[in-house]
C-alpha cells in the first residue's frame, strides 16, 4: 500500500511539473510579438513594445489603439519598414544609435512622431540640427613650405572628418621619412608646415599613398585629394583660385557634400 501511495504522489508531482512547464512555455510564446511594418516582419518581446507608456505601440499591445492584422494574423502597421529598425533599436537600447553616414534624419523624426515617441523625436531633431550646423562650418587644411608660402595647397571642406583624414595620411607618411622626405615639419590644427619641400626637375614632391611607398608631386597630391573626396561622396566646387587656369595649377580646392 505504501508503494502505491508513493507512486501516486510521484505521478502527481510529475503532472504538476509538466503543467507548470507548459504554462511557462505558453507565457513565453505569448510575450513574443510579430509586427508587419510596411511588409517587413519584426519579432520582439511585449515588454519592449510597451516600454514607453502612451506610445502608439504600447497602445496597440494593450488594446487602446485598434490595429489591423495581415493574412498571417500579425499586427500590420503601414509605415516605413526599413526605418522601423531604428525605432525598435531605440526601444531596446533606450538611446539613439544610428549607423555611420545615416542621412534620413527628417524621415526618422517623422516616424518617431507617428509612433508617439517624444524622447526619440527630440533626439533625432537634435542630431539633425547639429549636422546642419556642422555642414555650414567650413574647415580647411593648408600644406605649405615655411620658406616659400607659394609652394603648397589649401583644401577647404564642410566636413571636418574629411580634412582630418587627409591630414592624418600626410602626417603618417611624413613621419615615415621615406625616400629622402623632409624630416622637419610642424603640425597645428589646420596647417602642416614643412621646413622645406623636396625639389626635383618635375617640381615639388610629396608622399600621399596609404601604403606609404609612393613619392608624388604636389600636383598629384591635388588629384589624390580630389579622388578621396569623390569616393567619400563629396563634390568639387570651382577652385578658389582660378587665376592659374586649371585645378592642377590652382592653390586651393573646395569640397562640399
Q: What pLDDT shows up at residue 154?
A: 82
Higher pLDDT, 100 or 174: 100
CA 72 to chain centre: 35
> Which structural domains are found in the chain, ordered by start?
22-134 (3.30.710.10), 139-256 (no CATH)
Residue 150 CB neighbour total at 10 angstroms: 7
CB 120 within 8 A of CB 87: yes
Q: In this structure, is the dihedral angle defined by the CA atoms of residues 170, 172, 176 and 182, taken in order, positive or negative?
A: positive
Task: Look at residue 244 and tell me whether its pLDDT is greater than 60.
Answer: no
pLDDT, mean of residues 19-44: 74
Percent of the chain with pLDDT over 90: 34
Higher pLDDT, 245 or 87: 87
**Does the structure show a pLDDT above 90 at 166?**
no
Q: What is the mean pLDDT of residues 66-91?
A: 96
Please report where in the chains the cell 492584422 appears, as a residue: 69
pLDDT band at 31 (very low <50, low <70, confident <90, very high): confident
Q: Tell me, rounded to whole angstroms, the distance of Cα 93 from its chain centroid.
A: 17
Residues 6+ apart with CB under 8 A from 149: none
Distance CA 57, CA 42 (A): 13
Assigned C-alpha cell, 75: 499586427
Examine the pLDDT at 225 and tell me if it is beyond 90: no
Amino acid at each position: 500500500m505504501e508503494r502505491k501511495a508513493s507512486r501516486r504522489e510521484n505521478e502527481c508531482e510529475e503532472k504538476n511539473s509538466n503543467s507548470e512547464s507548459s504554462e511557462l512555455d505558453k507565457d513565453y510564446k505569448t510575450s513574443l510579438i510579430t509586427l508587419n511594418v510596411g511588409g517587413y516582419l519584426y519579432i520582439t518581446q511585449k515588454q519592449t513594445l510597451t516600454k514607453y507608456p502612451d506610445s502608439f505601440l504600447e497602445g496597440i499591445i494593450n488594446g487602446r489603439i485598434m490595429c489591423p492584422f495581415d493574412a498571417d494574423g500579425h499586427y500590420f502597421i503601414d509605415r516605413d519598414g526599413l526605418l522601423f529598425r531604428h525605432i525598435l533599436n531605440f526601444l531596446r537600447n533606450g538611446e539613439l544609435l544610428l549607423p555611420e553616414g545615416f542621412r534620413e534624419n527628417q524621415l526618422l523624426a517623422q516616424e518617431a512622431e507617428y509612433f508617439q515617441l517624444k524622447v526619440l523625436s527630440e533626439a533625432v531633431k537634435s542630431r539633425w540640427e547639429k549636422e546642419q550646423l556642422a555642414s555650414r562650418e567650413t574647415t580647411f587644411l593648408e600644406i605649405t613650405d615655411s620658406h616659400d608660402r607659394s609652394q603648397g595647397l589649401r583644401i577647404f571642406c564642410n566636413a571636418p572628418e574629411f580634412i582630418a583624414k587627409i591630414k592624418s595620411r600626410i602626417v603618417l607618411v611624413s613621419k615615415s621619412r621615406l625616400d629622402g622626405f623632409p624630416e622637419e615639419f610642424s603640425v597645428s590644427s589646420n596647417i602642416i608646415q614643412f621646413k622645406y619641400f623636396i625639389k626635383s626637375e618635375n617640381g615639388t614632391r610629396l608622399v600621399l599613398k596609404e601604403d606609404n611607398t609612393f613619392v608624388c608631386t604636389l600636383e598629384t597630391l591635388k588629384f589624390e585629394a580630389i579622388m578621396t573626396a569623390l569616393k567619400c561622396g563629396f563634390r568639387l566646387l570651382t577652385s578658389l583660385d582660378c587665376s592659374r587656369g586649371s585645378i592642377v595649377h590652382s592653390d586651393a580646392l573646395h569640397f562640399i557634400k
